[in-house]
Structure 1
Amino acid sequence: MKTLAALTALTLLPLSAMPASAAPGIDWKPCATEYAPTLECAKLQVSGVFSIALAKLPATDPARRVGSLLTNPGGPGGSGVTVLKYGGQGFALDKPEMAEVRQRFDVIGFDPRGVGASTPAITCGPDLHDPAVSRFPKSRADYEKLIAHNRVSGAECLKRTGPGLTHVDTWSAADDIESIRIALGEPKVNWLGVSYGSELGAAYAEKYPKRIRAMVLDGAVDHSRPTRQAVLDEAIATEGALNDFAKWCTTSDECVLRGKDVIATYDALMRTPGGVPSKQLGRNVTAEEMASGLYGSIILPMFWPDLAKAVEAARAGNADGLLPYAQLDPSYGAYRAIGCHDFGSPFTSYADMKAMQGLVKALAPHSWRYSEFWDMASGCAGWPVASAYLPRPQHVRGAAPILVVGGEHDPATPLVWAKGLARNIENSMLLVDAGYGHTGLLNSGCVRTEEVKYLVSGVTPAPGTVCR
């Protein structure tokens, strides 16, 4: 096994640089932004129902062009078009390691079916998130209230979106990548997927292994892992991230909480009777909502200084810096609908959910009020649209070497998931990021360097490579 892995690491994939020609089936139009002056946009009909929004940053060195690089920024519900329009993920060259990607590839961002500017877009009602409905019911009556809320809000999503809502699972969405590849005229796919983008990429690899030239799965999601186990994995990782943040605060001049017991301060905030006022929302924000807001910042160390200020402000009576994703981002409906297709809820009764609550609180005594997979598992309980792609054993065979990336301190996609996904993919290579935060692409120059080298040359890093 070790010998095979070493040989795989040295495998050189053919470059076969392709001319940057007009892509068949795609009518590109200029859609320049301040961050992307050469950006082009288009729509592609991929089925009788869905039309996919596309954006392209043409290679800046056409003579050395490798091909097209399809990207997905995460989610579920993340817009690849928006990322390119605003120069996210280093494509505005704020991360120098990405310069060669811009030179050698046409970078393609797209909005998966149901997402963003793709049509029909997943559309839900304003009550999809209700602060009065707890994700941690304390009684059977509270549990039934949660189930009823999810059923009604899901039915509203189905009414507003239409029958397309039953076909936005990731297994189906993988077929759209193949449609994009064909329309681009590319013989094989180059893929850079982070977080949810790793799940979507892995589904494509399972369905179309021979169509892959190079594929990076960063912040890896292991779809073979049962939802119950994923909930516990993420609870542990989120608690670890809160402790990492607290430790950082003990030494950093950028932390306004320096000199305080950060964990005790946070715990006291969570116990604030009636929640904390938000000027932006015009109401009090609950402890569960503030925990969600904290999670949205704790996953990226670049946000830690502002997070410390937000915690301090909330303790003083203003929770505007800790507002939950469900209140801030219009893509939350897509996040919920696709997540319910892909992971669903494992809970069979109030007693079952109560037992899982106990496990989560034991594993994450301070951060238990929010993690993405608990939000998914509780939010999908009672969801009226049947799940189409629940976790199951996953096997990718016959593909070119695929690079899987996982972080030792990633609260959103724990390292154990990357290890599991790598085991699921024949001839894959695991790159470990020893730093902090969600995905190596967003947090580590070392990881970006290794990913770019691999995407350009096809050579995976040496076995056992760790970015420190």
Structure 2
Amino acid sequence: MDVRRVAAVIAAVVVMAAVPAVAEASALSWRPCATTQEPAAECATVDVPIDRGRPELGSAQLALARLPALDPGRRIGSLLVNPGGPGGSGVGFVQFGGLASPDLAQLRQRFDVVGFDPRGDWFSTPRITCDAATLFDPALDRFPSTRAGFDALVAHNRAAGQDCLARTGPLLANADTQSAAEDVETIRAALGEPRISWLGLSYGTELGAIYASKHPGRVRTMVLDGAVDHTRPLRQAILEEAAATEDALVRFAGWCRGSAECVLHGQDVLRFYDDVVARAAQGAIWSSDLGRKATADEVSAGVYNHLYIREEWPLLGKALAAAGGEFPDAKGLTERNQFLSPIYGAYRAIGCHDFPSPFTGPVDMGVMAGLVRTVAPHSWRYSEFWDLTSGCAGWPVPAKNPPQPHPVHGAPPILVVGGAHDPATPLSWARGLAASIDSADLLTRADDGHTGLFNSACARAAEVKYLVSGVTPGRDLVCR
């Protein structure tokens, strides 16, 4: 951040942080919704139009959960949080201890922390609803090399989308992130806040950035952690993410081989992983979680999801060892992949609005699949952008928010956080997102895992300090 800009804004920002925000009257009716983790939690709903251009389609109800500031005399305002997805629940994140870390105590003291479920998600209604068996077929080839295989993939995705549309109704065609960003503005107005603070993780960075692009004057502070750059061409994004997933797997394997904390200590872990995946591809790996043999894609996806949190690497070593043991059971891996999770329908539907398939046919898809295998020779069977774009080939709902620029002009300083070894959101995406925001500073993590909030005490401290003070830590901060 430019030193002169810091000097110019610091006095106003510090005064703003120390004085409770002057809010308009709230239009929300809060009711107790205590949990064991958060006994002070309150819940409410807010109505939003399904389609702001077609009022005849009616409205949707967004679910909200709030943790009132513990120090009301020094309350700054409302901090909206989005934990990611697409399809993640802000309500669940707030109600069940997502901000319970002692490192985040100041946020609980100084803010009303507000989580919300975006349109179509979890406790918001109508909810995106899909038949799980129709949406995911473990026998389907997601890397088809023939016209027949490509046509089968397209037909499957079309049928899955039509099923979701029949079960969900018109909301499915309006579940894009630009519509969700306008919902955030409705929430802000309903809260009675002249400006909001924002903590967005992963997909929450895309949602937050689009909101800031549309309503820069309504932003007080904004953390975009685990950044998604929605301007990136899809083919480029596919390869960048596949390479990031491979990097994370290789780093895990190196740690596991050399650490006594890993049950595969001393072994060639990448070779062990490749063998498990190859055996799964041959139908030789059982999963007691699924009650059937696990596919190679399911095994690979389960490994991927364990790479998110660095502290879970010992658990990943155990799960991988169990999948490759004398009596293999991939339960520890398959129970962590998302194919049969309750949010997979929302994940797919929102993803197809924002990241529609770029593939034109089997040749095009085959070329991209070959490039993915080149940059990710071990982990190629699963990366999120391949899952999205292969799953969106043939999706029957037109995309309302394909990749495009969302420049942010006129907002206060915004903090973008990216990880050099993040398996899901490459550092290049954080750099790209920061470059599209006039007032952004980039914090770089040199450690492992997805998002600084979940993996780095250094990043947590920087994010909390910035959210409270409004002053970013500077362009060149690196958390190691």
| TM bucket normalised to smaller | over 0.9
- The whole-number CA distance in structure 2 between the counterparts of 1:463 and 1:50 is 40
Q: Do residues 433 (structure 1) and 445 (structure 2) align? A: yes
Q: Do residues 278 (structure 1) and 303 (structure 2) align? A: no
- The whole-number CA distance in structure 2 between the counterparts of 1:115 and 1:450 is 30
Q: Which amino acid in the other structure matches residue 270 of structure 2?
A: I
CA deviation map 1:128-186 (0-9, x unaligned)? 01101121113221111111100000100000000110001001100111111111110
- For residues 3 and 22 of structure 1, do their structure 2 counterparts lie closer, same or farther at Cα, with a shift above 3 Å needed? closer
SS in 1 for 2:135: coil
Q: Which of the residues 351, 354, 358 maps onto 2:366?
A: 354
- The whole-number CA distance in structure 2 between the counterparts of 1:7 and 1:423 is 22
Q: Do residues 299 (structure 1) and 308 (structure 2) align? A: yes
- The residue aligned with 1:329 is 341
Query: Quick check: 1:429–1:460 contact (8 Å CA) kept in 2?
Result: yes
- The whole-number CA distance in structure 2 between the counterparts of 1:355 and 1:171 is 31
Query: Quick check: 1:403–1:431 contact (8 Å CA) kept in 2?
Result: yes
5+ residue gaps, structure 2: 50-57
Q: Which of the residues 83, 86, 90 maps onto 1:76?
A: 86
- The residue aligned with 2:119 is 113
Give structure 1 regions of 4+ aligned residues with deviation exceeding 3 angstroms: 1-12, 19-23
- Paired residues, number: 464
- The residue aligned with 1:101 is 107
- The whole-number CA distance in structure 1 between the counterparts of 2:464 and 2:278 is 46
- For residues 276 and 260 of structure 1, do their structure 2 counterparts lie closer, same or farther at Cα, with a shift above 3 Å needed? same
SS in 2 for 1:344: coil
Q: Give the CA deviation at 1:250.
A: 2.2
Q: Do residues 181 (structure 1) and 185 (structure 2) align? A: no
- For residues 171 and 419 of structure 1, do their structure 2 counterparts lie closer, same or farther at Cα, with a shift above 3 Å needed? same
Q: Do residues 401 (structure 1) and 413 (structure 2) align? A: yes
Query: Quick check: 2:442–2:474 contact (8 Å CA) kept in 1?
Result: no
- The residue aligned with 1:339 is 351
Q: Give the CA deviation at 1:216.
A: 0.4
Bigger mean CA deviation after superposition, 270-279 or 388-397:
270-279
Q: Give the CA deviation at 1:366.
A: 0.5
SS in 2 for 1:447: helix
- For residues 421 and 466 of structure 1, do their structure 2 counterparts lie closer, same or farther at Cα, with a shift above 3 Å needed? same
Query: Quick check: 1:128–1:153 contact (8 Å CA) kept in 2?
Result: yes
Q: Which of the residues 194, 197, 203 maps onto 1:196?
A: 203
Q: Give the CA deviation at 1:427.
A: 1.3
- The residue aligned with 1:209 is 216
Query: Quick check: 1:5–1:463 contact (8 Å CA) kept in 2?
Result: no
- For residues 283 and 103 of structure 1, do their structure 2 counterparts lie closer, same or farther at Cα, with a shift above 3 Å needed? same
- The whole-number CA distance in structure 1 between the counterparts of 2:8 and 2:220 is 14
- The residue aligned with 2:29 is 27
Q: Which amino acid in the other structure matches residue 290 of structure 2?
A: L
Q: Do residues 122 (structure 1) and 152 (structure 2) align? A: no
- The whole-number CA distance in structure 1 between the counterparts of 2:361 and 2:8 is 47
- For residues 249 and 458 of structure 1, do their structure 2 counterparts lie closer, same or farther at Cα, with a shift above 3 Å needed? same
- The whole-number CA distance in structure 1 between the counterparts of 2:284 and 2:449 is 28
Q: Which amino acid in the other structure matches residue 233 of structure 2?
A: P
Q: Give the CA deviation at 1:194.
A: 0.5
- For residues 352 and 188 of structure 1, do their structure 2 counterparts lie closer, same or farther at Cα, with a shift above 3 Å needed? same
- The residue aligned with 2:158 is 151
Query: Quick check: 1:8–1:401 contact (8 Å CA) kept in 2?
Result: no
Identical amino acids, percent of aligned pairs? 57
Query: Quick check: 1:9–1:461 contact (8 Å CA) kept in 2?
Result: no
SS in 2 for 1:46: strand
Q: Do residues 289 (structure 1) and 289 (structure 2) align? A: no
- The residue aligned with 2:53 is none
Q: Which amino acid in the other structure matches residue 284 of structure 1?
A: K
For the aligned residue pairs, the C-alpha RMSD in angstroms reads 1.7
CA deviation map 1:355-374 (0-9, x unaligned)? 00010000000000000001
- The whole-number CA distance in structure 1 between the counterparts of 2:122 and 2:391 is 21
- The whole-number CA distance in structure 1 between the counterparts of 2:25 and 2:168 is 31
Q: Which amino acid in the other structure matches residue 166 of structure 1?
A: A
5+ residue gaps, structure 1: none
- The residue aligned with 1:410 is 422
- The residue aligned with 1:60 is 70
- For residues 335 and 27 of structure 1, do their structure 2 counterparts lie closer, same or farther at Cα, with a shift above 3 Å needed? same
SS in 2 for 1:15: helix
- The whole-number CA distance in structure 2 between the counterparts of 1:5 and 1:248 is 42
- The residue aligned with 2:398 is 386
- The whole-number CA distance in structure 2 between the counterparts of 1:402 and 1:171 is 19
Q: Which amino acid in the other structure matches residue 163 of structure 1?
A: P
Q: Do residues 171 (structure 1) and 183 (structure 2) align? A: no
Query: Quick check: 2:442–2:476 contact (8 Å CA) kept in 1?
Result: yes
Query: Quick check: 1:344–1:380 contact (8 Å CA) kept in 2?
Result: yes
Q: Which of the residues 437, 442, 451 maps onto 2:463?
A: 451
- The whole-number CA distance in structure 1 between the counterparts of 2:25 and 2:310 is 40
Q: Which amino acid in the other structure matches residue 172 of structure 1?
A: S
- The whole-number CA distance in structure 1 between the counterparts of 2:385 and 2:7 is 37
Query: Quick check: 2:20–2:73 contact (8 Å CA) kept in 1?
Result: no
Q: Do residues 241 (structure 1) and 252 (structure 2) align? A: no
- The whole-number CA distance in structure 1 between the counterparts of 2:21 and 2:414 is 24
Q: Do residues 251 (structure 1) and 266 (structure 2) align? A: no
Query: Quick check: 2:226–2:419 contact (8 Å CA) kept in 1?
Result: yes
